[in-house]
Amino acid sequence: MNTATLLCSCTDRSGIVAALTHFVAEYGGNVIDLDQHTDSETNQFFMRLVWDLRNSALSRDDLPGAMGIVAKKFHNMHWSISFSTPLPRVAVLVSKTQHCLADLLLRHQMGEMPGEMALVVGNHGDLADLARHFGVPFAHIPATRDNKEQAELEQRALLRERGIDLVVLARYMQVLGPEFVNEWTGRIINIHHSFLPAFVGAKPYHQAKARGVKLIGATAHYVTAELDQGPIITQGVTTVSHRDEVEDLIRKGRDIERQVLAQAVRLHLERRVIVAGNRTLVFQ
Report the catalytic residues: 228
CB 132, min distance to a copy of itself, A: 9
CB 256, min distance to a copy of itself, A: 11
Sign, CA torsion 84/86/87/93: negative
Q: Give Cβ neighbours of residue 134 (< 8 Å, ≥ 6 apart).
A: 105, 106, 108, 109, 117
> Which C-beta is closer to a copy of itself: that of 83 or that of 134?
134
Tell me the residue ranges of DSSP E strands in the chain: 3-11, 30-39, 44-52, 78-83, 89-94, 116-122, 138-140, 166-169, 188-192, 215-222, 232-239, 273-276, 279-282
What secondary structure letter does DSSP report for 244? -
Query: Which residue, 102, 93, 112, 95, is CA-closest to 254?
Result: 102
CB 144, min distance to a copy of itself, A: 25
CB–CB of 92/170 below 8 Å?
Answer: yes
> Which C-beta is closer to a copy of itself: that of 175 or that of 198?
198
> Which C-beta is closer to a copy of itself: that of 15 or that of 142?
15
CB 160, min distance to a copy of itself, A: 30
CB–CB of 168/262 below 8 Å?
Answer: no
Number of other residues whose CB lies within 10 A of the CB of residue 176: 24
**How far, CA to CA in Å, does 245 sit from each of 180, 213, 256?**
37, 12, 17
Binding site for a copy of itself (CB under 8 A): 12-18, 21-22, 24-26, 28-40, 55, 98-99, 102-103, 106, 109-110, 112, 129-130, 133, 195-199, 211-215, 217, 231-237, 241-243, 245, 251, 254-255, 259, 278-282, 284
Q: How far apart are CA 149 and CA 146, in angstroms?
A: 8
Q: Give Cβ neighbours of residue 13 (< 8 Å, ≥ 6 apart).
A: 45, 74, 75
> Which C-beta is closer to a copy of itself: that of 117 or that of 159?
117
Query: Which residue, 52, 80, 98, 45, is CA-closest to 261?
Result: 98
CB 192, min distance to a copy of itself, A: 12
> Which C-beta is closer to a copy of itself: that of 155 or that of 235?
235
CB 62, min distance to a copy of itself, A: 18
> Which C-beta is closer to a copy of itself: that of 45 or that of 180?
45
